[in-house]
Structure 1
């Protein structure tokens, strides 16, 4: 009987120790990583400012290429007693003033003047040839129509180097009364020639479409993690052309898809032949873009482990501490490996869905529960860890700050928004006002978070380059 009581007492003590705690290591099955190969897309519809700028100096250079040599010829002397040829003598000088283009065109004019008398049906005429030099002043209003900058040029007076005159009987006889009517006929033709030359110089369509074609091609912005970015322009809007600060600016807006993709090149493509140009009184500028932020599982685990440092998780007389943390993905969920010691020793596994806490700017694991094998092993020791307050506190600490990732995303955007030049003559500038994590994707090497940013962006195109 005494021996029986000793055996019962020993069994009771063993049971209490088994229930209250143990130093025996529990072996659990490690869930193997498993990742989806699906391509992750995040598409945003945005409006971008698209100012197209042409310096007046470049306009002057281009216009001089199109307007050269003999620009006017009148070979008929009948009617006005005058034949005339006009050449551009030197470079046209173009400046801007009060929202207009002001030009000075140096001219060389050859005239053949017929003069004399007609009386009683008899005529007595003589002719003289003159070479004249002068400068004509022009002023142009600028507009934008059908992809082209158009001008309406008005002709001012001519400043003659010398007053037009001929010598008769040793005297200078002014012939301005003959020259001025001929010049008056020439002026409208000259205005049209200047307008045509400027129109040829300022056909910005090929420059804009070429620039958009280049910047719309998909770019692999993070080769290590196969992160791509692409843009698909949909519509262009324009309302006016502005002449100021020694340049001509066409104020345009663009509606576009901005797409970030993980695991493959984006599928959107830009067909420049289908881009529509529309007139608009007000240009929208709502800018939204997604940028992929990357953090490796190891780095995320280090950040999460900091939450467990120096903490003991207790339930009555039992307690555990977390000695290590590891993370990976499986079937779209996050696996959290926790190394524990104390009343329970071993590696145990939690599973949950990665989510974002916008208030604390932290990533956390939602819908947390023990992986089935870990849960079954722990239940052998009671519910105190599998269902109790310790599990709740473990859940609370399965999170890490993403401030650094947000800053990295912001800095990445700044790289592309600070005088970024994807191709010669095209520059991107702008700023973002907010960054907010959106979709979270688990890849074999890292946790990739799509961060949505808003702000304003301008893509400037120098149409003469």
Structure 2
């Protein structure tokens, strides 16, 4: 959706480390046990403009599937003294003419009509068979993804002039047949309008596209990062007929988020998506993405980042064996368990921030404290004030520039004639990602990122 399926290739969890500063001690108590309460954060909804284009060929295809064989029957000879049956002999062809839908219907007609007078039984009836085409012009309207028409017969063209045999001679009866059709043209036009009205509306198609776009998908195997879109409302304008297609504007109101860890559930509910008719929708994508990183997942991932790294200064060296993170009083506590020249734990704490110029995440107002095993803190001053800590601090910074660039590159295929289902095609453009802010909750760090772009959905060639 989707075009939307790749808004996040970049990996939020690694945002969690950054530069360190003062030697003020911090309260590094473990957090309270986690509960099952829902994660609460202020979400900014996204808006996706999706101009929808339905080709007349698609309408033609669906109408031909609907109308087959005998398409009209009038067996009542009372009143107009005629009976008529009409069969469709080939596919209906639909085009645009002067802002209307023109439908050319190849047909075979069987007609029976009475002529003469009832005086003394002086009347007779004749049957006639003929082939030709009927041309209809229709005013078309599509409201809330449902197509309706108001049709009128515009012309009749016969393969050969209809005749009957009277006294051994072929007598032309076009002058009889055409008035008969004229008497029935309102019925024939209604038959076409009813057939179009009975065509399935395009809501299921839009919902199928949204369902495909809403399925969670992994954006990074390394960091176990998933993207999910949650549709809320769909805004629909009335349609216009433009040459060979019907066009309208759709607007999707949704939430976008990334989650770290196990694959999230697909929460898409077709019955919960609300469709609303509007006169106009904005013509751009305005996406605000909430990237969620739980502390448990972030701890596991950052531990992997430190795995195999050795930090040395002179003869002294340490290895970070494990990283744990949690939140306390609006700050992130980072616990680093070390071994080597120093067996102990260092706690870092700070507020996550973003540097727009360097495109890096860093921690502001950073504090740290050292807790050692079997060693006085003063003997570890070489770590607190020395080169090794500076190296650890340097490795804590993380630039997201390449991730944002990769995110854009990975999204482009979904905007280049992407087909989430047969006969549905998505095209569009996307601007660069912009980092907006970072928020800390009791369960996770949430990074908010936004972008803009355009998108168009075309329906042509469905089953």
Map residues 414-429 of structure 1 onto 2, 5 A cutoff. 414=412, 416-429=414-427
* Cα offsets for 1:393-442 (capped at 9, x unmatched): 99799645332233233334445544444444555544134331644899
- Cα distance in 2 for partners of 1:415, 1:335 equals 40
Is 1:184 equivalent to 2:182 in the alignment? yes
User: 1:260 — aligned with what?
Assistant: 258
| Residue aligning to 2:453 | 456
Task: Summarize the Cα distance change of 1:257–1:122 in structure 2 as closer, same or farther, 3 Å threshold.
Answer: same
2:348 is equivalent to residue 351 of structure 1:
yes
2:326 matches 1:331:
yes
> 1:369–1:113: structure 2 CA closer, same or farther, 3 Å change rule?
closer
How far apart are 1:229 and its partner, in Å?
A: 2.3
Distance in 2, Cα, partners of 1:377 & 1:368:
23
CA distance in structure 1 between the partners assigned to 2:85 and 2:265 by the alignment: 60
Contact 1:110–1:129, Cα closer than 8 Å, also in 2: yes
Note closer, same or farther for the CA distance 1:422–1:105 as it changes in structure 2 (3 Å cut): closer
Query: How does 1:50-61 map onto structure 2 within 5 Å?
Result: 50-61=50-61
Backbone CA RMSD of aligned residues: 4.7
Q: Which residue of 1 aligns with 2:366?
A: 368
| Paired residue secondary structure (1:162) | coil
Tell whether the 8 Å contact from 2:408 to 2:432 is kept in structure 1 after alignment.
Answer: no
- 5 Å-filtered alignment, 1:145-224, equals 145-169=143-167, 172-224=170-222
User: In structure 2, what is the Cα distance between the partners aligned to 1:323 and 1:403?
Assistant: 31
- CA distance in 1 between counterparts of 2:392 and 2:117 reads 116
| Distance in 2 separating the partners of 1:257 and 1:272 | 15
Q: Which residue of the partner structure matches residue 135 of structure 1?
A: 133
Q: Distance in 1 between matches of 2:345 and 2:77?
A: 107
Report what 1:236 is aligned to: 234
Q: Structure 1 86/32 Cα, relative in aligned 2: closer, same or farther at 3 Å?
A: same
Gaps of 5+ in 2: 1-27, 328-332
Aligned to 2:103: 103
Equivalent residue in structure 2 for 1:271, among 265, 269, 272: 269
Note if contact 2:257-2:292 (Cα within 8 Å) is conserved in structure 1.
Answer: no
Q: Note closer, same or farther for the CA distance 1:224–1:422 as it changes in structure 2 (3 Å cut).
A: farther
Conserved 8 A contact 1:34-1:330: no
For residues 370 and 80 of structure 2, the distance between their equivalents in structure 1, rounded to whole angstroms, comes to: 107
- Alpha-carbon distance in 2 for matches of 1:221, 1:68: 47
Q: Is the 8 A contact 1:334 1:365 kept in 2?
A: no
Match of 2:21 in 1: none
- Aligned equivalents of 2:169 and 2:292: distance in 1? 87
* 3-state SS of 1:192 partner: helix
Higher alpha-carbon deviation: 197-206 or 165-174: 165-174
Q: What's 2:435 paired with?
A: 436
Whole-angstrom distance in 1 between the partners of 2:280 and 2:144:
18
Secondary structure of the equivalent of 2:122?
Answer: strand
Hey, what does 1:68 align to over in structure 2? Answer: 68
Question: Which structure carries more relative contact order (alpha carbon 8 Å, separation 6+)?
Answer: 2
Distance 1:426 1:223, change over 3 A: farther
Partners of 2:418 and 2:30 in 1: CA distance? 39
Cα separation, 1, equivalents of 2:357 and 2:128: 86
Match of 2:86 in 1: 86
Point out the structure with max Rg over C-alpha: 1
Unaligned runs of 5+ in 1: 1-30, 313-319
Alpha-carbon shift at residue 252 of structure 1 (Å):
1.6
- Shift of residue 156, structure 1, vs aligned partner: 0.6
SS of the residue 1:151 aligns to: strand
**TM-score where L is the length of structure 1:** 0.70
Change (3 A) 1:301 1:381: closer
For 1:32 and 1:112, the matched residues in 2 are separated by 96
Distance in 2 (CA, whole Å) between partners of 1:74 and 1:405 is: 69
Instruction: Indicate if the aligned counterparts of 2:92 and 2:104 stay in contact, CA closer than 8 A.
Output: yes
Q: Secondary structure at the match of 1:163?
A: coil
- Rounded to whole Å, the distance in 2 between the matches of 1:359 and 1:434 is 14
Q: What count of residue pairs does the alignment treat as equivalent?
A: 412
Change (3 A) 1:437 1:250: closer
Other structure's SS at 2:357 match: coil
Q: Which residue of 1 aligns with 2:14?
A: none
Report the CA distance shift for 1:103/1:283 in structure 2 as closer, same or farther (over 3 A): same
Aligned to 2:19: none
